[in-house]
Amino acid sequence: MLHRRLTCLGDHDDAVAHLAALDFLGRMPVPLRQGFTAGLDQAAAVAGGRGICFVKGNEWYAPFEALARAEPMAAFPNMVLTPFTRDVLSVTFQKRLRAAGHAAATPRPTHPAAAGLIDPEGLFSVFAIIPWVFLIDNRKLGGRPVPRGWEDLLDPVYEDQIVFGGWKRPSDGTYPDCNDYLLLYLYHRFGAAGVRAFAGNTRAILHNTVASRFAGTNHPQGGAISIMPWMQADICPRRDRTAVVWPNDGALVMPMGFSVSSSQRARVQPLLDFVCGDACAAALARNRYPAVWADGPQPLPEGATLDWLGWDYTRTHDMTEETMIATRLFFAAWSRA
**Which string of DSSP letters, residue by residue, matches 30-72?**
HHHHHHHHHHHHHHHHHTT---EEE--GGGSSHHHHHHHTS-T
For residue 12, the model assigns a pLDDT of 53
Compute how many other C-beta atoms are within 10 angstroms of the C-beta atom of residue 45.
12
Nearest to 129 by CA among 138, 121, 144, 118: 118
Pairing outcome for strands 306-307 and 251-261: parallel
Neighbours of 266 (CB within 10 A): 8
Cβ atoms of residues 26 and 5 within 8 Å? no
What does pTM read for this prediction? 0.92
Highest mean pLDDT among 39-48, 106-115, 258-267: 258-267
Check residue 336 and give its pLDDT.
61
Q: Which amino acid is at 186?
A: L
Q: Are 267 and 23 in contact (CB under 8 A)?
A: yes
pLDDT band at 3 (very low <50, low <70, confident <90, very high): very low
